[in-house]
Amino acid sequence: MRFIGSKISLLKEIESILPTYVKGQTFCDIFSGTACVARYFKQKYKIISNDLLYFSYVLQKAYLCNNERPTFMGLELNPLDFLNNNMGNLSSAFFYENYSPNKHNERMFFTNENALKIDFIRQTIEEWYIQNNINQNEYFYLLACLIEAVPFVSNTTGTYGAYLKIWDKRALKTLTLNPIELTTTNTSKHFVFNRDAKELIREISGDILYLDPPYNSRQYGANYHILETIAKYDNPQIKGKVGIREYRELKSKFCNSKKALSELEYIVKEANFKHIVLSYNDEGIMSMLDIENLLRQYAKFESYKMKRIPYKRYKRTSKKAKSHINELLFYIEKR
């Protein structure tokens, strides 16, 4: 999935910054996003995972709580084949009416066909769950398949704060659900939350805490409102040119240059974890020096480490912007 700040290309680097002597059973990814970090470390650890966005929670539930591939015994059919090849009667058509061009609006997030397909798939999954034809793990698995498929037919540059004015060739493809890959070798019970990290940190404990907070002023609740509405399918009140849902409760103080550092300090201070890894962008609103000074306050003597990793920018906002930036990985053993 295309996602701002995704760490999928940095997984080995995150693992390598942990000293070789680090032992432990529990890994916490408290700003999970697409859950790619939690999924990677699920191979070795019991996972605690969290994000304030509900669509992220759906992905976490699907990837982390399914320790075996769902069987869908209650359906007596292959759900992905059925959803890909059928289009039944719709009780409503929220995505068609609001996010594809028609008599109701001119928004071009999806073609008419794909918007109707989203409505059909989402309603069918919900009906199966309400009728007890699928269990909770199967429900979140199917929702994750849909959420993972949508970016491949979205008429956007990757986020949903705007849509393209002409159809991208990708958006003209037919929405198709594919099975998601699961880690089935670790049968531990994993814990998934949909909470504010600042509240949750006081209630959990473990061995390794991974922090990947927002690094700029762009709020994820606004950038991914479409995925949030697909996950909830709650027919929200929407407004503006892009049909955005209310996201006040999803606003992160990490996106505020005056509050970000104090938010980070609170989490580090309250963390009941021996090892802390922080990932941050070198163009973020917190400076590298401020982060270093903060972490050293809570680090055991000489445990502080920082690694700079060059990587390609998610997208260039101007011709003057650097094509490559640095991810900063920080590590401390907490005293």
Q: In this model, does residue 148 exceed pLDDT 90?
A: yes
| Residue 71 tokens, joined | 């069987």
Asked if 105 and 29 sit in the same domain, the reply is no
pLDDT at 91 (0 to 100): 82
- Is residue 192 over pLDDT 50? yes
205 pLDDT above the threshold of 70: yes
Tens-digit pLDDT profile for residues 263-318: 999 999 999 999 999 999 999 999 999 999 999 999 998 999 999 998 776 554 55
The count of domains in the chain is 2
Q: How far apart are CA 92 and CA 95, in angstroms?
A: 9
Residues 236 and 124 in one domain: yes
pTM over 0.75: yes
Average pLDDT over the chain, rounded to an integer: 94
Report pLDDT digits (tens) over 59-102: 999 999 999 999 999 999 999 999 999 998 888 899 999 999 99
Sign of the Cα pseudo-torsion (202, 204, 208, 214, in order): negative
Residues 28, 48 contacting (CB under 8 angstroms): yes
Q: Are residues 203 and 295 in the same domain?
A: yes
Q: pLDDT by residue (tens digit) across 1-45?
A: 666 666 788 899 999 999 888 889 999 999 999 999 999 999 999
Residue 162 phi, psi (nearest 5): -160, 160
Please indicate, yes or no, whether residues 79 and 98 belong to a single structural domain of this protein. yes
Helix pair angle (136-149, 225-232), 10° resolution: 150
**10 Å Cβ neighbour count for 143?**
23
Residue 256 and residue 246 share a domain: no
DSSP lists the bridge partners of residue 277 as: 210, 331
Residues 8 and 96 in one domain: no
Out of 12-21, 154-163, 192-201, least confident range: 12-21
- Percent of the chain predicted with pLDDT > 70: 95
Specify the residue for token string 């290309």: 9
For position 316, what pLDDT does the model report?
47
We report the CATH number of the domain holding residue 286 as 3.40.50.150
Residues 319, 282 share a domain: yes
Q: Tell me the C-alpha distance between 170 and 158, whole Å.
A: 12
| 97 and 188 part of one domain | no
Q: Which residues pair with 210 in a beta bridge?
A: 29, 277
Helix axes 225-232, 54-65, angle to 10 degrees: 60
Give the range of the structural domain holding residue 53, as residue numbers without chain letter: 1-68+184-214+252-335
205 and 229 fall within a common domain: no
Are 142 and 172 members of one domain? yes
Which one-letter DSSP state was computed for residue 249?
Answer: G
Ramachandran region, residue 235 (left: φ > 0; alpha: ψ -120 to 50; beta: rest): left
Same domain, 174 and 209: no
What sign does the dihedral 225-145-28-330 (CA atoms) show?
negative
- CA 214 to chain CA centroid, nearest Å: 12
* Crossing angle between the packed helical segments 260-270 and 288-298, to the nearest 10 degrees: 20
Are residues 169 and 190 both part of a single domain?
Answer: no
Helices (H), the chain: 11-16, 36-41, 54-65, 79-85, 94-99, 112-130, 136-149, 197-200, 220-223, 225-232, 260-270, 288-298
pLDDT the model gives residue 121? 98
Q: Which residue has the higher pLDDT, 56 or 104?
A: 56
Query: At 99, phi and psi to the nearest 5?
Result: -130, 15
Q: How far is CA 104 from the centre of its chain?
A: 30
